[in-house]
Amino acid sequence: MPAELYSIREAAEAFGVPVSTLRYYDDIALVPASARRARVRCYDRTALARLAYVLLWRSDAMLSVDHTMAIVSSADRGHRNELLERSLADLDDRIARLTRARNTLQQMTNCPDDDPVNCVVTGARIRREVDAALCSIGAGA
């Protein structure tokens, strides 16, 4: 009994990704199509499971295509864990930057002054950054 095949369009719609993404994943051998029917890429259940696995890394873990490819293709658990540890460190860094960005935006929205430069919190930060920039200009001269 032949495996049931799903067209690239069906797979894309089922997983909520553009067809172009599946074409790209096939072209770089990240998620190869299982077969072709009259030039249309088709996927069996095994290929769809690989797609779900890739999307776990891409969407849920927010990894780049290259990093996802390295993890997915790694057969060595130790190597894969090293890659994951690096990903965790990168994610922690992004979370810290996003938290700072959120705090800055929150401070800006709570500023009672019409001019953020004159705001107690934001203005003090701006003045510190200008002073630091001027010091580095003076140090380089």
Residue 141 has pLDDT above 60, yes or no: no
> For 65-99, how does the pLDDT look when each residue is reduced to its tens digit (9 = 90+)?
998 999 999 989 999 999 999 989 999 999 999 99
Q: How confident is the model at residue 1 (pLDDT cuts 50, 70, 90)?
A: very low
| pTM for this predicted structure | 0.70
Q: Residue for token digits 């994951």?
A: 84
Residue 14 has pLDDT above 90, yes or no: yes
Quote the tokens at residue 29: 């051998």
Res 138: pLDDT: 74
Measured between alpha carbons, how far is 19 from 2 in angstroms, rounded to an integer? 24
Residue 107 has pLDDT above 90, yes or no: no
